[in-house]
Every structure is written in C-alpha cells, then in structure tokens.
Amino acid sequence: MESRSNERLVMIVAFFTAALVFPAMGRPARCDQKPSQVSLKSFLQQYLKDPRAPDDKTTRYSSALVDLNGNETDEVIVYLTGDYWCGSGGCLILILEPDGATYKVNTRILAARPPIRVLATKSHGWHDIAVMVGGGGILHAYEARLSFDGESYPISPANPPAQRLTVKVPGKIVIPVTTMSEGKPLYP
C-alpha cells in the first residue's frame, strides 16, 4: 500500500518536473513563428472580429515593428489586405501601441497603399508616416505624409490633415509594395 502511494508521488513529481522543464510539450513546435508574432496575430483576430465578416479567410497582414515615438518600445504598423479590408482606394493600416502584454489601437488608417515609409521628420514627438494614395478616381497616385497630432495619425491619407508630398522626404520603407496574396494569413 505504502509503496503504491510512493509510486504515485514519484509520478506526480515527475509530471510537474517535466512540465517545468518542457513547457512547450503537447504543443506542436513552430520554429517559424516568434512569440510576439503569435500574440499580434491573436490580437488582430480578436480586434477585427466583426459580425459582418466572420473570419474572412482572405485576410492577410504584414507588420513592422518601429519605435515611432522614441520611447524605446516598438509600435507596430500593420497593413491588412483582403476582401473585407480593401477597396478601390487601398487597404487598412493599423498603428498599434504596446499595452502591457497586448496592444491598443492608436489609429485606423483607411484606404491606404504601400509602400509604407517611416519618415525622418517628426510631429509631436512621433515619426511621420508616408503612404501612397491612389485609385478611387485619383488619376495619378501620390505619396502622402501622415503626421501625429498629439493623439493619433490622420485616418485618411487622401484628405487633410494628411499632406500630399511633392518632394521625396527621407525615410525608410517598413512595409513594401505587396499584393493581396502576400502577407501572413490571419485565419487558418
């Protein structure tokens, strides 16, 4: 009787030791995904839940980690494509701020086109962002500068306060030109 309970105790100890040493046991190994990307994907799946478009399988996303406000913590620029998020004017961009273990949406930028550039210039301490504007009746596509106003970026690159750029402003491409089939699928 005593030996059986000792055996059980050993098994319990072994189980918890294994759980501590091999925390990923039981989960399929995904070497291609970094933890932050997994959580970004989960966040986007939750945030974009819409009764009008249950898990639109065409949704794809591209993301870039950029410290926009110089606080040594990266914000996330997300470019979403798919049937639900794109129109003739372009697709949806989300500017996400880290918020503890998750994110909060700072700005939804509508009808934008890549490439998305982070400019060297700043407004209210945040880097300006440049996107392409085209389609929807605009004959000649152009680049627009989106400047932070102290709270968020403009929601529409085609309308003020977004500014049409007439000269090339120095900056870095963070999300290049992509097609609808590029980017990571948001849903399995």
Partner 1 sequence: MLAAKIEGGATQYYHQDQLSVRVLTDSNGVKIGEQQATAAAYNLGKGGVSGNPDTIDRGSTWGNYGSDIMLLMHCFK
**Site of interaction with partner 1 (CB under 8 A):** 48, 50-53, 83-89, 91-92, 110-111, 133, 135-138, 155-156, 158-159
Q: Which is nearer to partner 1, 122 or 184 (CB)?
A: 184
Specify the amino acid at residue 121. T
3-state DSSP assignment of residue 145: strand
Smallest distance, partner 1 to C-beta of residue 52, A? 5
Give whichever of 65 and 155 is closer to partner 1, judged by the CB atom. Answer: 155
Q: Closest distance between partner 1 and the C-beta of residue 8, in Å?
A: 54
Between residues 69 and 156, which has the closer beta carbon with respect to partner 1? Answer: 156
Which phi-psi region, left, alpha or beta, contains residue 184 (left: φ > 0; alpha: ψ -120 to 50)? beta
Nearer to partner 1, 65 or 105 (CB): 105
Residue 133 beta carbon to partner 1: minimum distance, rounded to whole angstroms: 8
**Among candidates 89, 60, 62, which has minimal Cα distance to 76?**
62
Write the CA distances from 44 to 37, 41, 49, 100, 170, integer angstroms.
10, 5, 8, 16, 30
Shortest gap between Cβ of 161 and partner 1 (angstroms)?
A: 12
The secondary structure element, H or E, covering residue 20 is helix 2-21
